[in-house]
Amino acid sequence: MRLRLAPVEYKTCTTAGCEMKYEGAQCPKCRQAFTPQQVVKALHDRLILVDVDPPLYEQTQRCRCTECKNLFDLSEHDVIARAQCAACGKPLFQRAQLQKIWQEAETLLQRARKLDRALRQVAACPHCAQSVTVKSWCPLHDPSTPPGPTGGLPQNLTVVWVRTFHTAESLEELQQREWLEDEPGLEPETEIETEAESERDDA
């Protein structure tokens, strides 16, 4: 195992007077449940233990909203839902149109970005004539307010580390245990890596 300085995802409780930063599914202090529509997810550079079994932290990727910097997930389900009319559920584009829109899009994020741009050109559903409204992809935004030019979608995904909760032990407890098990006179094998947040732009 080793220590690594990594961008860790955390949530900030929205209960007035609490504002606790936490990593799990609910605020440990006031028990407010995490809801993506209300609670901001952000990054903190922290020292975490890696190469332990079971892992305490896992790497994943998120979208960082271009408007509010909130971290959110993009799922295939979200992209499919946006390509359909919110009123009648029928596809807003013909198959050939969609193929053209997604011609050079390889990743889900690229597809979402292209779809977002294409949706801004669609005034109404071709099936039921219901007008098409563009909303932010970031769950924190009010769906009735028009989003910014990218709908909150970034150019690239951001790598984040999230607590797995495979073990109930806290980082401090685990560190303590490992140190106690160390043989006297032996230096703990600790390697500290710094990981800069990737702001790569290859689009």
Binding site for Zn ion (CB under 5 A): 13, 15, 18, 20, 27, 29-30, 32, 65, 67-68, 70, 85, 87-88, 125, 127-128, 130, 138, 140, 152
Q: Which CB, 4 or 64, lies closer to Zn ion?
A: 64
Q: Which CB, 65 or 115, lies closer to Zn ion?
A: 65
Rounded Cα–Cα distance for residues 106 and 93 (Å): 19
Minimum distance, C-beta of residue 113 to Zn ion, in the bound complex (Å) = 15
Q: Which CB, 47 or 129, lies closer to Zn ion?
A: 129
Minimum distance, C-beta of residue 30 to Zn ion, in the bound complex (Å) = 3
Rounded Cα–Cα distance for residues 70 and 139 (Å): 9
Minimum distance, C-beta of residue 25 to Zn ion, in the bound complex (Å) = 13
Minimum distance, C-beta of residue 140 to Zn ion, in the bound complex (Å) = 5
Q: Which CB, 17 or 184, lies closer to Zn ion?
A: 17
The string of DSSP codes covering the chain is: -EEEEEEEEEEE--STTT--EE-SSB-TTT-PBP-TTT-EEEEEEEEEEES-SS-SEEEEEEEE-TTT--EE---HHHHHHHTB-TTT--BSS-HHHHHHHTTT--SHHHHHHHHHHHHTT--B-TTT-PBP----SSTTS-TTSPP-TTTT--SS-EEEEEE--SS---HHHHHHHHHHHSPTTPPP----EE-PPP-----
Minimum distance, C-beta of residue 57 to Zn ion, in the bound complex (Å) = 22
Q: Which CB, 63 or 101, lies closer to Zn ion?
A: 63
